[in-house]
Structure 1
Amino acid sequence: MSRHFTEEHDNHIRDVMVPFELKSNVSRTTNALEHLAKYVYEAFINQPTRNFVIVITMCGTSLQLWQFDRSGAIGSELIDVKANKENLKKFGDLMFWFLTCNKTLLGFDPTVVEEEGHPVAINTCNQRFLIQPSPIFRAPGIWGRGTTCWKAYLSGDESDSFIIKDSWQVENRRNEGEMLREVTEKDVHYVARYYAHEDVLVHGTVVDIESHVRRGAEYKGGKKIGFDVKPEDPQVKNECTNRFHRRLILKDVGVPIYEVHSPARLLEAFEDCIKWHQELLKAGYLHRDISINNLMVNDNSKDPYRKSFLIDLDMAIPYPSLGVQSGLARTGTKVFMSSRLLLKLVSHSHVDDLESFFWVMLWICIQYPVKERQETELPSWNQQSMQSLGAMKEGYLHTPWLLTQKFTNHFQSLRPCVEEFGQIMYKEIDRTDDSVGRDDPARLYNKILSLFQRVQKGLR
């Protein structure tokens, strides 16, 4: 079901309101759901104001409703629409409801104002922000935080730009906005500055998965279904995690670090971001999600502390921490996670985040600029198991030249630097948690920063 039909039938997934899958018989119900999950994945990417998606499967004469959201999916029982008049009437009423209900009931965020089908403004924190119609970032996937970032400015005042970040954060985890406000108040350098944050409200009610999106539906006693794809971590339970829709507004606007114009600027940006990571650690927080989209640059800024900065405290925790979040949980973006975390050998420390900086730098030097990119194994890393990728990375830290030989021409001058960076991190991976805990973190930071500063001098 789509909101726009034309004579040319040029419908796009961004126009689909209710994905609908037809199969010949009821035995293909799971297959139909697998197909619909792919449509939902694309719908979430192409409809950035979508909070959940309702889908229909019709297998033979058996109808089933499913709702996909940031905590997974829940479905109804199968209804045979030809079994009796009551079921047939339910089917007719359902189709009428889908064709006449408003977009909020179909999963769209009512706090985002649209004109001609395009988002133009967000009403939040008692203010109205005008936004660019296309988000600058939209995380792929169904289950998870579903992070979306918009470039914005206050209505009637275009002098200052802001970033509005929407995400679905796990219940009982400290609010990212609270952490960033505390860090900003401490005047930590190289950090995107806090402006405001809130739990998103609709009609005065906090938006979460269990009570708002799923409307208190009782589903936990229902039957679970599975696909042929096994989870990467068998210890992860197949259960709902309640999430809250939260909105954070940042003062600083930048572009991802891979858009830098020169090798020297890349090193300078990494130096600044690692300094910020160290300052954040001193302020009592460990980031835990160093990735290519969380390192930003702004060459237009006149403030030296705003030219390069780190964002996203979603996964940050107090550090050092003895709480449950500091156990052997594997946290971060998989392809940039440290070898030790992937192998589940240690609890997350500053050493693992610094190794993630290495993998981000390596990734950029191999993958950018796109026109110089060679065919490599990097894109397949996300399909590797955690154990396999961890073992592979451990080997590459010992012999980084196997990867640096794939650098694009643009970043060839950084090969010796990145290889030395890898050697520095390799010497750290066999150390125990106790030795890391007793160590002064400044030792490792200084080694890496000194390397970057020395190489930058030779590039100027």
Structure 2
Amino acid sequence: MPDNSSFTNQIEDLFAGAQYTPSIDINEDPRVFVRLVLGLSSPNESDIGLDPSIQWTIENGRKVRGVLITRGSDNTEIVYPLLNVDPFFRRNNIRGRCTTCWRVSDPVSGEELLVKDSWRAGHSISEYAYLQEALGISGVVQMVSHGPERGQTKDFRGFENDFPGDFENRMETRLAMKCYGDPIVEFTSAKQLLCALRDAIAGHKRLFKKGILHRDVSIQNVVLGKPEAEPGDCGVLIDLDMATRRGEDGFHPHTDWRIGIPLYQSIMVLSSNSLSQPLPHDHLDDLESFLYILTHILYSYDCHGALHEVDDLLTDWDECSGTIAACLKESFLARQFLPKNISMRWPSASLDVFRGFKDLILPMVDQKVALTLARPENGPEILKALMLDAEHHYNGVIRLFDTGIAALEKDDNYEASSILQRRSTSPQTLLQPPAERSYLKRRSDGYPDSQPLVKRLKLKTSSSFSSSDTDSSSSDSL
């Protein structure tokens, strides 16, 4: 007969790996076995690994509502009612930040807020440090409160002060932030899309003025503003987990291919894995990522937000990586033509912004590629000059968007006035009663207010789900 008198206790830690005990014989160590059973049966939620800061109301064996308890920067307790018993976003990677986001209600104003839990690497700066500096900046997510660090994985591992060489400590942070609109791919007009990207880029510029670089610009990290948003908040840049601060030498850390989603990474970031001396990650890399967001949308949707067949260009970018993906993007930037099936889906104003954006990015990419190949002695001076010219780079991009938005508004006004003129001069308008409109069936050429999520583009990426000035901002100085 097999011997079933021994056991091991294993704990799976999403942040630092697995931990387990040696085999324990329950006949020789019955007390250990009893302690284990009592521990797993404990009514104390912390004893069995549950988070006591989230409490549930149970009815008929099901969670029906709950509250999330946190602390403000002054360490006062804040109790947020949960708007849903399930988080609306959660990263399920085996190892990583384990980001979990909840929708909650402000206990005083009733305003909908977002609470974000995440486990950052112990050596990195907490997101709330960057969000603190972003307070009051249009186009960037706004923090409401943050509490003290909620825990560290080193405290759960039983190492005391003797840590293995490959152990990476992680620290939990909980932030409360403002809620905004849908993901940017939920746009319903060309103008809404350009306004959203324009304001997110302007917000990125203001962060850069404070020495902060986002480094993770992607389609997941730009959201639409609320329907009533003022100019400057029509699009919002979120998720500053990977942000970094400019160093004393005036540069940000080197490009790192492990940061960001490859589909939107710049050519320099994609190439960094094969370079012995990668260039510093700079504002141009992030602006290039904004271009790839626009490319993704133009090549995948029409101007009303309806999804079309995934273009081979995006598939190739998504399936390749490193220098191969970088070469594909270099070829794309140099390409002068646009496929007809795509150009027919978008107004000329949107396409002019797209072409102009490419024309601005291409020469600067060429200049940085040349630096990695030739390695001139004055390379640092050239990079410094690019950094000092950042205001010109940002303003050039923002002007493109402002021009495109103005052109779309002009077209909308012309179309509206033409319709009014036709109605006022048409005999049928005067002689016939208006036709009855059926609300039971949408016309075949109409578009829903919001595309179903199931129909939205889902490219397979290894990193996916691994966060104004009322004028053109051209007067802002860096």
Q: Equivalent residue of 1:305, what SS?
A: coil
Does the CA contact (< 8 Å) of 1:166 and 1:247 recur in 2? yes
Q: Equivalent residue of 1:167, what SS?
A: strand
Does the CA contact (< 8 Å) of 1:374 and 1:408 recur in 2? no
Aligned residue in 2 for 1:39:
none
Change (3 A) 1:127 1:429: same
Does the CA contact (< 8 Å) of 1:341 and 1:347 recur in 2? no
- Counterparts of 1:41-120 in structure 2, within 5 Å, are 65-70=10-15, 72-76=16-20, 79=23, 85-86=27-28, 98=40, 103-116=45-58, 118=63, 120=66
How far apart are residue 320 of structure 1 and its match? 5.2
Q: Equivalent residue of 1:306, what SS?
A: coil
Which whole-Å CA distance do the structure 1 matches of 2:341 and 2:215 have between them?
Answer: 27
Does the CA contact (< 8 Å) of 2:116 and 2:175 recur in 1? yes
Which whole-Å CA distance do the structure 2 matches of 1:438 and 1:131 have between them?
Answer: 49
Deviations 1:116-164 (A, max 9, x none): 3646221112211112223332234132222222222123542x22221
Which of 109, 126, 136 is the equivalent residue of 1:175?
A: 126
Does the CA contact (< 8 Å) of 1:290 and 1:357 recur in 2? yes
Which whole-Å CA distance do the structure 2 matches of 1:386 and 1:86 have between them?
Answer: 56
Aligned residue in 1 for 2:382:
435
Does the CA contact (< 8 Å) of 1:400 and 1:422 recur in 2? no
Single out whichever of 269-278 and 369-378 deviates more from structure 2. Answer: 369-378
Which whole-Å CA distance do the structure 1 matches of 2:312 and 2:47 have between them?
Answer: 45
Does the CA contact (< 8 Å) of 1:208 and 1:243 recur in 2? yes
Structure 2 gap ranges (5+): 273-277, 369-379, 410-478
How far apart are residue 219 of structure 1 and its match? 8.2
Change (3 A) 1:429 1:216: same
- Is 2:245 the counterpart of 1:318? yes
Deviations 1:298-349 (A, max 9, x none): 2423432333221222222222554997134343233221111110142100
What is the letter of the counterpart of residue 210 of structure 1? K
Change (3 A) 1:89 1:409: farther
Which whole-Å CA distance do the structure 1 matches of 2:29 and 2:341 have between them?
Answer: 61
Judging by fraction of residues, say which structure has more strand. 1
Which whole-Å CA distance do the structure 1 matches of 2:171 and 2:363 have between them?
Answer: 41
Aligned residue in 1 for 2:261:
333
- Is 2:68 the counterpart of 1:122? yes
TM-score, structure 2 as length reference: 0.67
Which whole-Å CA distance do the structure 2 matches of 1:374 and 1:92 have between them?
Answer: 58
Change (3 A) 1:385 1:263: same
- Is 2:336 the counterpart of 1:396? no
Change (3 A) 1:380 1:247: farther
- Counterparts of 1:115-154 in structure 2, within 5 Å, are 115-116=57-58, 118=63, 120-124=66-70, 125=72, 126-133=77-84, 134-154=86-106
Structure 1 gap ranges (5+): 1-57, 202-206, 222-237
Aligned residue in 2 for 1:208:
152
Aligned residue in 2 for 1:374:
310
Aligned residue in 2 for 1:448:
397
Change (3 A) 1:388 1:176: same
| Structure with bigger gyration radius | 2
Q: Equivalent residue of 1:192, what SS?
A: coil
Q: Equivalent residue of 2:310, what SS?
A: coil
Does the CA contact (< 8 Å) of 1:372 and 1:409 recur in 2? no
- Is 2:145 the counterpart of 1:199? no
Aligned pair count reads 374
Does the CA contact (< 8 Å) of 2:100 and 2:117 recur in 1? yes
Which whole-Å CA distance do the structure 2 matches of 1:407 and 1:136 have between them?
Answer: 33
How far apart are residue 194 of structure 1 and its match? 2.4
Q: Equivalent residue of 1:163, what SS?
A: strand
- Is 2:113 the counterpart of 1:162? yes
Aligned residue in 1 for 2:406:
457
Deviations 1:60-114 (A, max 9, x none): x9857242322x41333663x7x88448997787577546675544443221122
CA RMSD of superposed structures (Å): 3.6
What is the letter of the counterpart of residue 445 of structure 1? Y
Does the CA contact (< 8 Å) of 1:163 and 1:253 recur in 2? no
Change (3 A) 1:148 1:406: farther
- Counterparts of 1:380-419 in structure 2, within 5 Å, are 381=317, 384-399=320-335, 407=342, 411=346, 414-419=350-355
Change (3 A) 1:164 1:416: same
Once the two structures are aligned, what percentage of the paired residues are identical? 25
How far apart are residue 257 of structure 1 and its match? 1.4
Which whole-Å CA distance do the structure 1 matches of 2:343 and 2:55 have between them?
Answer: 43
Which whole-Å CA distance do the structure 2 matches of 1:96 and 1:371 have between them?
Answer: 55
Does the CA contact (< 8 Å) of 1:273 and 1:308 recur in 2? yes
Change (3 A) 1:139 1:399: farther
What is the letter of the counterpart of residue 123 of structure 2? N
Q: Equivalent residue of 1:195, what SS?
A: strand
Which whole-Å CA distance do the structure 1 matches of 2:250 and 2:171 have between them?
Answer: 22
Which of 274, 291, 306 is the equivalent residue of 2:218?
A: 291
Does the CA contact (< 8 Å) of 1:366 and 1:408 recur in 2? no
Change (3 A) 1:398 1:299: same
Which whole-Å CA distance do the structure 2 matches of 1:374 and 1:276 have between them?
Answer: 30
Aligned residue in 1 for 2:281:
348
TM-score, structure 1 as length reference: 0.70
Which whole-Å CA distance do the structure 2 matches of 1:395 and 1:348 have between them?
Answer: 21
Which whole-Å CA distance do the structure 1 matches of 2:314 and 2:360 have between them?
Answer: 22
- Counterparts of 1:228-243 in structure 2, within 5 Å, are 239-243=166-170
